[in-house]
Amino acid sequence: MTTAEVVIIGGGCMGASTAYHLARLGVTNVVLIEREPTLGAGSTGRNAGGVRHQFSHEGNVRLSLESIRVFEQFEDAIGSPITLHQDGYLFLLSEPAHVDAFRAAVAMQRHLGIDVEWLDADEAARRAPGVDTDGVLAATFCARDGICDPDGVTMGFARAARRLGVEIRLETTVTGVRTSAGRVTAVETDRGVISTGVVVNAAGPWAASIGHMAGVPIPIEPLRRNIFVAEPPVRGGWEHGGPGGARAAPADRVMVIDFASSFYFHREGPNLLFGMGDPDERPGFDTDVEWNVIEKIGPVAARRLPVLADLAIATAWAGLYEMTPDAMPILGPAGPAGFHVIAGFSGHGFQHAPAAGRVVADLIAGRDPRFDLAPYRFDRLTGVVTGEANVV
């Protein structure tokens, strides 16, 4: 039987970040378990890579502040290069209730020192050429938001953790979590048992299954999201492929979000990545692309970015959001002593991995995380909670 001070279950961005931050604090007898042949093969590797400050909940904004600072300094701080494009997030608001809610959120974000612009429809159209802002009542834009590299971040944290002594076991499946007298005692895998007093559940959409092994009912459900990539117009490209030879799409990688529908897009190399939530999607682990959802996305996409009406799809994939009832993650202790959760980010996990991993590592090491964990506590879900409204 192997012995470890901490066992982390899940080799995505959350598990890798937690491992690195533990090792940085001197907790190096750590085993990170991933059932796939590579790290980041689950939800981490299937997201759109967005990073933003524009959340409705102050706690999430604070996670973004810390995490985006890490992304901006990643190579110097962690030792690995990553790709980060900070061309901004542009939210288009077409319903009065959303305008009111975003106005309050922008005031909070500015109070925390974030430069968020309040735009009218004409200003939004100038910021994102090719976008039709008909019906848009207002818009918000933050230039430090952008697109980052999930694989690079995950592997960067993992390499740094390995250098500090963390063991990473790939193609290893967790089959049980042992407890005794109200404490975690071991993790069972298909490759043997690891004796430990601390387990970190970083299993993302599968976090509820790991919780069940420890006797902890974790209210996280997987929800499929489809992502599509369109090729540029055959004639004129993105620069001149719009109506009358106008620009068909923004030249930079600004993330444009039609908030009422959740339709979003951004440039992805020579192509254009887009997606939208399906209100009829039901929880499940299916990651096959649901091509029929294009029939729902099509009218919205063609209205907001007219060039999409006639474009060819180059590729597509589907990933899983890990949804909690209030769209807020669970961070910290849950159930038996020594069992911690870092999961349930409801679609904004990757971008909060640096801060969330640091917070959970601090808790395990007995340090003050210098962060208000009340909105993220496991037991909050038994009462009335105020969650995150800006889920995309």
Q: Name which residue leads in pLDDT, 40 or 82.
A: 82
Query: In a 10 Å sphere around its CB, with 0-12 CB exposed, 13-18 middle and 19+ buried, how is residue 123 labelled?
Result: middle
Banded pLDDT at 48 (limits 50, 70, 90): confident
Q: What's the average model confidence in pLDDT over 298-307?
A: 95
pLDDT of residue 47: 83
Q: Residues of CATH 3.50.50.60 domain(s) within the chain? A: 2-52+150-219+325-382
Q: Name which residue leads in pLDDT, 348 or 100.
A: 100
- Model pTM? 0.96
Banded pLDDT at 23 (limits 50, 70, 90): very high
pLDDT of residue 42: 81
pLDDT of residue 383: 66
Q: Residues of CATH 3.30.9.10 domain(s) within the chain? A: 89-143+222-323
Q: What's the average model confidence in pLDDT over 5-26?
A: 98
Q: What's the average model confidence in pLDDT over 358-373?
A: 98
Supply 105's token pair.
């959120």
Residue 189 in this model has a pLDDT that exceeds 60: yes
pLDDT of residue 243: 85
What are the DSSP calls for 87-133, one per residue?
--EEEEE-SHHHHHHHHHHHHHHHHTT--EEEE-HHHHHHHSTT---
Residue 289 in this model has a pLDDT that exceeds 60: yes
Assign domain 89-143+222-323 to its CATH superfamily: D-Amino Acid Oxidase, subunit A, domain 2 (3.30.9.10)
What pLDDT digit, counting tens, does each position of 368-392 carry?
999 999 999 999 987 656 789 888 8
Beta strands 116-119; 138-142: pairing state: antiparallel
Average pLDDT, the chain: 96
Contacts of residue 269, defined as CB under 8 A and 6 or more positions apart, other chains included, come to none
Percentage with pLDDT > 90 across the chain: 92
CATH number for the segment(s) 2-52+150-219+325-382: 3.50.50.60
pLDDT of residue 390: 85
